[in-house]
Copies of this chain bind each other. A is one copy, B any other.
Amino acid sequence: WRSSENPRTTILLSLLYLALLTFFGSAVLLAEMHRHSQQTHNVHGFLTILMLTSSTWMLWFGWTSAKNKKIKMYQDHQAGANWLKGGLCLFALATLVLDCLTLGYYHELHQCTSIVVTSFPMVQAIFTVIQVSLLSFYAKVCIQEKQSLNRFGLMHTLATNILMWMSVVLDESMKQLEEIYDVQKRKMNLIETPGWHTNSCVCTTDLCHIFSEGAAYLHPFNIEFSLFSSTMLYVIWKNAGKTACIPAVSAHTKGTRHINGAFIGLILGAFAISATFGVMISFGVLAKSPSTVPEALRIYYLFNSVLLSAMFIASVIGIVTCRLQRGFLFDDKSKSVVKSLDITLLMGSSCGPLLVSVFSLVAIFFLHIEGNLYILDLCFSLCKTIQVLGQNLFITEALYSEPAQTKTTISSDDMVLSMSQDTETENSQNGICNVSTVCGHRWSFSENDASPRSSKTLVDSDAPKNLQPRNNVTDTSHSRQMAKEERKESFFRTRRKILQNISILLICYNISVWILYAYGTRPHLVSQIEQSFYGFTLWVIVVKISLPLGIFYRMHSVASLFEAYCNICDSAAY
């Protein structure tokens, strides 16, 4: 009988613990949903206990890690990128503001809230602060010591985040469903029971209304905070016990990102975002009264169709440009946890929008309804489907194509040429082994290049020495070659600019779609086509499953596109 510190058993048990805790929490949350009560002791008490225990573990982990000098030895440098930490801090800040507003709201309604409910935002604020500090300091760490305890701690915190997310999503869903039921009741000319609004637990003061409405706008940020934290915790869990040290990305790639290359993309993107706000407001106003609902839907569908088809076209151009420039240099071998998790999350969350749009398409297709609105709905669903497919492909191509290991300094006097991997494939295609044409394909500045490929670059950098004499002898061929390379180089610069613009454009457009999803415009629940085809309950379930996924997909696309943009900038930095 050996010690029970066996990695596989611990991994299994911690996964099962996550499943059990998540199921337990969802049972508690769903039971409350069934009772249609939003502020309850069970849920708040349960989540408070979870947050307190998670905070205790995080404090303990931080304390032992701070003492441990060896913790910096094993790190996954691809985990916990700076932009991720920045995003997390932003969402945490929004969550803290939300907590203040919620506390104020509960204070206004103090006559009907208990101590458990009132203390909830305070505990959440403490939990948020501790979690942000932990993830900022230890996102890259590969845990080596006390693995079993730390794995359980990570899974406990992960479950807490998932359940916090679920609780917010369910709350929001309940509110929306109640609004829809209200609309349906009003349609049936049912007069609301007067006893309903004389409830003592309803906002009466202006301050209370401000608190309540402000909180509603901050909930999406809280949702994102939970999801971001979950993925980062999962990466730490996945990295635990790893000893293979992944080399740090060299520092010289930083600071080379300038936005001026992507001016057109920024302008177009900003235009789309501002138009989104206009559409959102007009939809909100028009969807209020039943007579103008078709008008609201028409605006929404039209705007979205245009936006999504623009995104699709941009993605297609991006894919084509990607392939033109890089010639399929996929680093299939580098199986980093972070990158494959990124792609898996992107694919998984894209199932949300795909599910809804395919269901819409089937409904419209089989119902054979004619009319302006239905064609627009069909158009919208079709655009959404192809947009998601195109964007997934573009992000994967941009992320997995060769990053900036080879860089160029253009000063025509001292040029260091280096052959990249392309040479082999290109030679085999052309059949002629003309080194001078080939080496222009990728410019390399092999000084202080700390990339994993540096050894290869060093080996290849002998090639220019062999070239130099030949260039001196045939001067005309050299100048011709120079002109050719300059032409090629300007060609590549244009292509990179296109890719940069497309990335920025797609980031802005995804933010637009995210704003539309996250704030109030729910055309799926208003539109009657799908409801009549699938029945109200089934359709609401489908929408409710796919909406949070869709919101997460947009957020995650923005993050991945930003990474792709950095990738492109690094490779384009002169």
Inter-chain contact A23/B347, CB cutoff 8 Å? no
- Residue of B24, B31, B538 near A30 (CB, 8 A) is B538
Inter-chain contact B362/A24, CB cutoff 8 Å? yes
Q: Which of chain B's residues have a CB closer than 8 A to the CB of A397? A: 9
Q: Which of chain B's residues have a CB closer than 8 A to the CB of A400? A: 8
A2-B327, A12-B393, A324-B1 given; A27·B362 CB < 8 A: yes
Contact with B along A534-571 (1 / 0, CB 8 A): 11011001000000000000000000000000000000
- Residue of B6, B13, B323, B347 near A1 (CB, 8 A) is B323
Assembly of this chain: how many copies? 2
Does chain B have a CB within 8 A of A359? yes
Chain A, range 280-327, C-beta contacts under 8 Å to B? 320, 323-324, 327
Inter-chain contact A385/B534, CB cutoff 8 Å? no
Does chain B have a CB within 8 A of A533? yes
Inter-chain contact A355/B23, CB cutoff 8 Å? yes
Inter-chain contact B362/A20, CB cutoff 8 Å? no
Compute how far the CA of A31 lies from the CA of B538 in the bound complex, rounded to whole angstroms. 9
Q: Which of chain B's residues have a CB closer than 8 A to the CB of A361? A: 24, 27
Q: Which of chain B's residues have a CB closer than 8 A to the CB of A358? A: 20, 23-24, 27
Q: Which of chain B's residues have a CB closer than 8 A to the CB of A9? A: 393, 396-397
Compute how far the CA of A332 lies from the CA of B11 in the bound complex, rounded to whole angstroms. 12
Q: Please give the distance in Å from A25's CB to the nearest CB on chain B.
A: 9
Inter-chain contact A332/B34, CB cutoff 8 Å? no
User: Which residue of chain B is the closest to A330 with respect to CB atoms?
Assistant: B8
Compute how far the CA of A534 lies from the CA of B33 in the bound complex, rounded to whole angstroms. 8
Q: List 20 A-B contacts (CB under 8 A).
A: A1-B320, A2-B328, A6-B330, A8-B400, A9-B393, A12-B396, A13-B393, A15-B347, A16-B389, A19-B354, A24-B358, A24-B362, A27-B358, A27-B361, A27-B362, A27-B534, A28-B362, A31-B533, A42-B366, A537-B537
